[in-house]
Structure 1
């Protein structure tokens, strides 16, 4: 007789040893995705020279960034395919498949021959790697969020889901550290000669351990119970269209504020504040560490106070404080003030994202939770990816150097409208 499939049943109490494995299994994929994304972005000039030689640096760099962004096109596809797989077959099975695909993309990137070696096939291999990473990353977020909230002890769904958001930020900081070490240890010609592969190889080394952990996970009790009574229904039923739009509206502030105030800010600091690239990146990394530390605290607070109060506090604060903060750093540009301002934004972002993922998971029933969260996050991620370009455009058309603040304020306003109709279900059992 075969042994019964292991399950993960929520119990009361703090994080225990059994659930640490669930947390690691659920969050490691998001960490690796953000790590890979940031590594490619930082090494864009090197990738442009080695894989996209087009006669001039500007054209090569554009081709490299287009390839980088191509992964975004696969996010809705990956969200639907892997999300449905997670809702039909299981969270653990979908996470295993996502990690396998992500590892394949990372391996292709790490060992891809350059243009000088195989010609036009080189950029095509890199493009395929980015498509695989985008596909897997999109399905990762919904499956991981579903697994975390469904495995959480009673009254701790906010804390558990917030760890997923923290893992994304840890991936960014880890990537920044690896690139910093590489730049200190190697000259640029050594990096071009093959040193650029090392950060990708380091990321690839995570994959076997992640696959092993995910291969031995069980499914949460609530998923197993719903699986027995599940009927084949579309994730896009009319009755859930409103919840999908609501989730998308709530995500606007997170993806746009994160892109403008963290991804775009180092470029803004160099171009408009006259700071060095190293100091601007340092301020961003420190602020991200503040967000990492505060996000689980905010998630745990939302388990006690509810999701909606914290979401409202963060939203209103972004509306009221973002433009004055830009005015302040433009009036007295310095690394110390930039670090202080970005750290303040880091706290606000943590206050918002801490309860956000659990709130999104609670919007949807178990049978469509993974696909719904994955799809809305995938679409929002595409919008957020264009936020730095939109912020730059705002400066041009308005003539105001502080105009990027308007992108954040606009996103906060849209998310505020979503919060007006959002029903807080933090105190209710998962449906």
Structure 2
């Protein structure tokens, strides 16, 4: 390709516009996705009525997992769109799908009205949400990182996890407002629908901003030169097997840690197991997420300065070591202790998640970048991240103490640490314009013609 320096000459104004476009969509997608987690108890009562409240919650959380299982499908669909039609097309498609599916959840009848049709419809719409999320993360990462200067890729890439967590903070704020303003009867009748109804205006705003942007210079140049992969999935599986595996390892810890923070895992444990009031548990969750949001750009600066490899290895080791004590301290009943314990966990999660975002882009050649990274990213989310909430609940019930909730994270963190220690090359500064540099410099990539 004609651009070989790897430096992107994007004005500060354009970088801000690009960041806002990625941030708005990411916030909306994860606000909608997290809303389900924060209202899982209420949704369980309405769609999975059972004499045992724990069974209702488990069934509700299993539907949360259904969305995660569908992420690889979304990764393939939107990865192909991003590599063949454009990065912007992938971003706009994912945000439209999330807005429509989430708004429809707000309009669903409950089990009391239509019986089994209610949970079936809920599952189908959650599947569409999962497909949307499968395309959003990698698409936003490519849009940001491909247009960032070499020395600021991780910093700008940190916008994705930071605004995703901010979406979780927004979900907490809405949940707190509804919990305190509405009675239990009002919440069951209509209050739970409010956060899902917000999808429509948020989605329209994100779509408007994204449609006003041009595609990335890298994709524009490939299109002008006729260098578009005709079968990106087949090409990625043939040429990028090891890079896909590396994305899987990197994403595994990031996904589990992220769902512990952003979804109902910590929040549900504090309210259901520790006995905190729902308001106190939500406040603690919101504070933790806000701290995590602030940590993401700091992790980006760290990864840009010392490199991707040491940053993600330290983060994975920290997640593995801190998970059990952090969950054990949730049982103290003190909001201050809970926030401090989970904030340390959040620091390591930020290091892993931010570095993972930039690795998704730097590990792959431009022709198959979205397809390849989406495969590794979403397979890890589905196979490792999806069971997290259920495994945590089952572990705590089986072993009888909250620290058991960290067992799964410790195991996944150790897997990530070992896999990346032996396999991950340093990608900081890699030329994103060259198709071949990702293949030649990464001795782990399987290159066959």
TM-score, scaled to structure 1: 0.88
Match of 2:427, SS? coil
Deviation at 1:50, TM superposition (A): 3.7
Once the two structures are superposed, what CA deviation does each residue of 1:341-386 show, in whole Å capped at 9, x if it has no partner? 1112222222222222102210111111112222222222222231
SS for the counterpart of 2:403 is coil
* Residue 181 (structure 1) shift: 0.7
Does the 8 Å CA contact 2:150/2:429 hold for their aligned counterparts?
A: no
Tell me the secondary structure at the aligned position of residue 232 of structure 1.
coil
* Residue 174 of structure 1, aligned match among 166, 170, 174: 170
1:11 to 9, 12, 23: 9
**Counterpart position of 1:4:** none
What secondary structure, in the 3-state scheme, does the structure 2 residue paired with 1:196 have? helix
| Structure 1 consecutive aligned stretches of length 4 or more whose deviation exceeds 6 Å | none
Q: Tell me if structure 2 keeps the 8 A contact 1:317–1:348.
A: yes
Mapped partners of 2:58, 2:314: distance in 1: 39
Q: Is there any run of 5+ residues in structure 1 with no aligned partner, and where?
A: 1-8
Change over 3 Å in CA distance of 1:184–1:267 after alignment to 2: closer
Query: What is residue 3 of structure 2 aligned with on the other side?
Result: none
2:73 counterpart (65, 71, 77): 77
The structural deviation recorded for 1:20 is 2.2
**What's the counterpart of residue 232 of structure 1?**
230
Distance 1:195 1:256, change over 3 A: closer
Go from structure 1 to structure 2 and tell me whether the alpha carbon gap of 1:290 and 1:201 turns closer, same or farther (over 3 Å shift). same
Aligned to 2:425: 423
Aligned ranges 1:324-335 → 2 under 5 Å: 324-325=325-326, 334-335=334-335
Match of 1:386 in 2: 387
**Structure 2 counterpart of 1:133:** 129
CA 1:321 to 1:135, structure 2 compared with 1: closer, same or farther past 3 Å?
closer
Alpha-carbon distance, 1:240 to partner:
1.1
Distance 1:290 1:215, change over 3 A: same
CA contact (8 A) 1:145 1:370 kept: no
Q: Tell me which residue corresponds to 1:5.
A: none
Secondary structure in structure 2 of the residue aligned to 1:378: helix
- For 2:296, the equivalent position in structure 1 comes to 295
Aligned to 2:406: 405
Please state if 1:359 is matched with 2:359.
yes
1:29-428 alignment, distance < 5 Å: 29-53=25-49, 61-227=57-223, 228-233=226-231, 234-260=234-260, 263-270=264-271, 273-325=274-326, 334-382=334-382, 383-395=384-396, 401-420=402-421, 421-428=423-430
Would you say the 8 A contact 1:25–1:214 is kept in 2?
A: yes
Task: Quote the Cα distance in structure 2 between the aligned partners of 1:323 and 1:123.
Answer: 34
Task: Return the offset for 1:96.
Answer: 1.2
Q: Could you report, residue by residue, the CA deviation over 1:136-184 in whole angstroms, capped at 9, with x for unpaired residues?
A: 1111111111111111133211111111011110111100101111122
Helix, strand or coil: the match of 2:428? coil
After TM superposition, give the deviation of residue 186 of structure 1 in Å: 1.4
- Are 2:22 and 1:26 aligned? yes
CA distance in 2, matches of 1:298, 1:237: 31
Task: Name the CA shift for 1:275/1:179 in 2 (closer, same or farther; >3 Å).
Answer: closer
SS at match of 1:68: helix
Q: CA deviation at 1:54?
A: 6.1
Quote the offset at 1:306 in angstroms: 1.4
1:29–1:137 contact (8 Å) kept in structure 2: no
Alpha-carbon displacement from aligned partner over 1:185-243 (angstroms, at most 9, x marks no partner): 21122222323222212232111111112222211111122232234342443331111
The range that moved more, 304-313 or 140-149, is 304-313
Could you list the runs of 5+ residues in structure 2 that have no partner in the other structure?
1-6, 435-449
Q: Secondary structure at the match of 1:113?
A: coil
Structure 1 window deviating more from structure 2 (284-293 vs 118-127): it is 118-127
Report the Cα distance in structure 2 between the residues aligned to 1:136 and 1:108, rounded to whole angstroms: 14
Would the alpha carbon gap of residues 387 and 192 (structure 1) be closer, same or farther in structure 2, given more than 3 Å must change? closer
Distance 1:195 1:392 in 2: 26
Tell me, in whole angstroms, the C-alpha distance in 2 between the residues paired with 1:73 and 1:321: 27
Contact 2:83 2:370 in 1 (8 A): yes
Per mean C-alpha deviation after superposition, the further-off stretch among 218-227 and 313-322 is 313-322
Farther off after superposition, 90-99 or 62-71: 62-71
Q: Compute the TM-score of the two structures, normalised by the length of structure 2.
A: 0.85
Q: CA 1:327–1:360 in structure 2 vs 1: closer, same or farther (change >3 Å)? A: same
